[in-house]
Structures are given as C-alpha cells and as structure tokens.
Structure 1
C-alpha cells in the first residue's frame, strides 16, 4: 500500500442494520430472546443512544422482525421465522457465497414483469426484492441476474404472491451473439457504485488500526460486519471475467476474513458477558442453499 489515507470519523451504520448484524452473530440458531437493556449496553459502545435503540426494537417488532417476550417487568426480544430466514440468507451471502464470483457457468436468469400503473407500491416492493436477489434492470420490465436464481421468494415473499404470479415470467439460459455481455452488464448494473462501496470499506478497514475510537473488538466487529453486509446485499456477484481489472471486492474480502480472525473470538467473549437472555421457542427455518 502507499501512503495511508487519513482516517475519517464517519458515523456508525444505522441502528437497524447494526441490530441485524448483532442478531445474526449472537442470536440466530440459539432460540433465545435478549433483554432490551442488553441491546442498549451493546450499541452504546457505538454511540447509539437508548432512545434510538428502543425505537428500533419497537419498529422491528411491528414489522414482524422481532418477537416480544415478557418476563415479569422485563422485556426480551427474539427472532421470528421471517427474521431468521433473512439472517440465514445474509450469513450464506457473506461466508458461503462471498463477494467474488469466479466460477460463473455462463448462464443468466431473466425475469420480466408487467403491472398496472396503479400498482406503484407492488412495483417498488418487487424491484427492492429483485435488487436483493442480485438482479439488474435492462429496461421495459426486464431484469437479469448471473447464474440460476430461485425467484420463488422474490415473487412470493413468505408464500404470498400478492397477485404477482400471473404477471411475472422467468427464463434461464446463455447470452447469444451478437449480445455484448460486458456492455449488457454495464447497462444493467452500476459498476462504479459497487466498486465505490468496496473502496470505502478498504479505506476504513485496510489499515493497521481500523476505527481507533471504538472501545473494544465487539464494537469493531459489529461495525465491520454491518458495513460488509450492506455491500453484499446490493452486490449481484457479477462474473469476474466481465469486471474491470483490479476489482476492489477481491482485496476487500481478504481484509474482511483477516479482521474476522482478529476480532471474532474477543467480540464473542464480550457479547456473552454483557448479553442477558432467556430461552424461547423459534419456528423451524430451512437455511438457504
């Protein structure tokens, strides 16, 4: 590396994204609910205030992402089937699939949809789910994603298709001549924005002492994993042979794995010390492939 850029004391990620990172690392698969005061203590390490945490817990409960469990005068929050599914998918994206697609089979998933103009909310929701699933728009309601994508959850989240089933068509196949695959990728995906996200991650974390103001490894680990998950959430894992040379996701993923080894054990020990929880039942969820 050349001269180290100056550290910018940027604010930490939003409370809800931090919350999902915390739940994905310390709650998922454990069938526990965490005391509200423990959330306040953990996120206080990152400068998130009590009011913001309580508001986030309430909002996530109303959206079906957290379940309330009262024990006497204390309130505990655990996962729902929906949040468990989201967290397991995020885990698979980070640690099993990764950000670098070096084994693409040359196939694409093509999805086309048509909706009435009055369906603005349904169109917005579908587009958000398509981005999460790795699709990019080619125009006129046509979206593409590299490799074969199971679009069941995209079309019918939670098993409810909201009338979309008859308005969506899905195809799988290869691009044929005279298609310019590189140009198609540049048209459908914002490569500069994707690369910029990884460069920002490297600027913050590819240094001897990332986040020097953080109080401990739990704060660093939660911040790092939240930032990384925000990147892979919008990264469609485009095939490396069609990406610009020096694609920053390569180095960023190396840094992530190195810092995981540096922070994870200490962070978990701190988390186990400060988390107060009770055991609860949780609906069975099938992990994503």
Structure 2
C-alpha cells in the first residue's frame, strides 16, 4: 500500500464501489470482520481498518449498526451516502465542460475570529476542483454547482458563500486565464502518475482471454478507483479547448473506464461471499 492509498481513503473507495445497495435499494451495514478481510486484500492491517473506521464515524460518514445476523458492522450515514452519490457523476461520468457553458463563482467572506472556517472553506473548494480567480473569489466549471451546494450545506459553510454563474468576458484570452486559475502542470502530472501506475495493469488484463480471477480483479480495481477518484476533483472537467495540447486527462479517463468495465463486476464476485460470511471466490 502506498502513501496515496491510505486506510481511510480505501474504506471510502470500498463503500463507493461495493458498500451500497443496487437499484436504489439501501445496503445493510458491512460487517467489520468482512471489512477487515476485504481491506487486507489491498494491504491494510486490522488495527488500521479499525482506526480509520473510527475516524470516519466521528466525521459522520459511517454509523455503527448490526447486520441481520447480529454481527457488528458499519453502514453509510445519510451524509456519507450523499457524498458518494455526488461523486458518482464525476468519478464514473467524468463530465467535461464546453467553453460556452460558463463558470461557477464562489465569493466568500469569513470573519477573522472564525479563521478555522476560512481554512476549511478554502480546502473544500480546492477539493471540489475550484481554481482561484482572486482573493475570496474561486471559480469552477458551471456543472459542479449541485455538488458544491450540497458540500457547503453539509459542512455548514453555506452562510459564508455566495454562488454566481457567469461567463468570462475579458480582458485576456480565457485559455490564459485558466492557466492562472489552475496549476495545469501539476494537474497534468497527476494524470501521468495515474497512467504510469494503472495503464500497465490494463495492458496486463488486456492480454488475458480468461475470465478475471475475482480476488485479483477486486484488488486491481479498488486500487485503480482509489487513485482515479481524486483526479476528477483536482481536474474538474475543464473545457478541452482551453487546455494545453496533448492533455493527458482524456487518456487517463479512458484507462480508468476500461478498467472499470473489465474488473468491477469480477471484483464483486470476490466481495459478495466475504460480505455474506462465506469463503470468497479466488
């Protein structure tokens, strides 16, 4: 497990991939014994799982519960479910804005005596993919509006922020402005790091004609998803016309999409028996 794949991040990734119900039905709690076993497959030991679960519970994303059989487990809170649902469109759809769709502006002012909230607000806007247009003025493609509203309301930060939708009218070309608002070199480096780590995995699976082995598919998919799900937030789907030539974001999205199509359901065949307490498929 690398520094990037922290226990807490992997648990959130697991719930997003496999810990929710299908067809709109809510899932029951994940037994803690099953969660420990499933995280062991990606290199996380039992004490780290328990510690990370406790932190996620304190943050209000997980809630303690009992399974139908009476085993101790953890399910998603309503806030946790909303967080994952907000992420689905970005992570799996990876929407890309068109130049004419406009921008979302977040203008905020936080009193000095509440500077801790100012720091939280800035960090959350950055995680949502906002760039900095000016002090107290952050900008993102207009399509992130709903998720931004949900996030600010969930964290109690909406009272400090006004949201506006608009268009860039000058005075410099919009492509040059975008290069000021976002660190495009750093974003491109993140895309290339994903490709370096996971494109070889896709090539390896592409050479195989047999059905993927469930445990191996689960491990490769969970690690790829854990790496990928950060990228549509760091890069919020900026219009392609405003990005440098040979931008690696599209290629990274295609690699993740292919891994998702190849491995997600195969990995579920490993997860299901573990969740049910039966021997897992190898």
Q: TM-score, normalised by structure 1?
A: 0.82
Corresponding residue of 2:17: 25
Question: Structure 1 residue 117: deviation in Å?
Answer: 2.2
Q: In 2, distance between residues paired with 1:232 and 1:11? A: 20
The answer as to 2:71 corresponding to 1:74 is yes
Provide the secondary structure at the position in 1 that maps to 2:204.
Answer: coil
The answer as to 2:117 corresponding to 1:122 is yes
Corresponding residue of 2:149: 152
> Structure 1 stretch 21-30 or stretch 251-260: which is displaced more?
21-30
- Which structure has more relative contact order (CA 8 Å, sep 6+)? It is 1
Corresponding residue of 2:83: 86
Of the three residues 41, 47, 53, the one matched with 1:57 is 53
* Structure (1/2) with the larger helix percentage: 2
Corresponding residue of 1:223: 223
Q: TM-score, normalised by structure 2?
A: 0.84
1:109 touches 1:170 (CA, 8 Å); kept in 2?
yes
CA spacing shift, 1:264–1:31, aligned 2, 3 Å = closer
1:21 touches 1:225 (CA, 8 Å); kept in 2?
yes
CA spacing shift, 1:11–1:172, aligned 2, 3 Å = closer
Query: Once superposed, what is the RMSD of the aligned Cα atoms?
Result: 2.3
Q: How many residue pairs align between the two structures? A: 260
2:91 touches 2:229 (CA, 8 Å); kept in 1?
yes
Question: Structure 1 residue 83: deviation in Å?
Answer: 0.4
1:150-200 CA-to-partner distances (Å, cap 9, x unmatched) read 443344226x44xx52x4333222111323212221111111111111100
1:33 touches 1:79 (CA, 8 Å); kept in 2?
yes
Q: In 1, distance between residues paired with 2:254 and 2:70? A: 46
2:194 touches 2:227 (CA, 8 Å); kept in 1?
yes
Corresponding residue of 1:244: 244
CA spacing shift, 1:135–1:11, aligned 2, 3 Å = closer
Question: Structure 1 residue 241: deviation in Å?
Answer: 0.4
Corresponding residue of 2:209: none
Give unmatched runs, 5+ long, in structure 2.
206-213, 278-282
> Structure 1 stretch 265-274 or stretch 125-134: which is displaced more?
125-134
Question: Structure 1 residue 10: deviation in Å?
Answer: 4.6
Q: In 2, distance between residues paired with 1:171 and 1:89? A: 20
Corresponding residue of 1:39: 35
CA spacing shift, 1:170–1:32, aligned 2, 3 Å = same
Q: In 2, distance between residues paired with 1:25 and 1:243? A: 30
Q: In 1, distance between residues paired with 2:56 and 2:3? A: 22
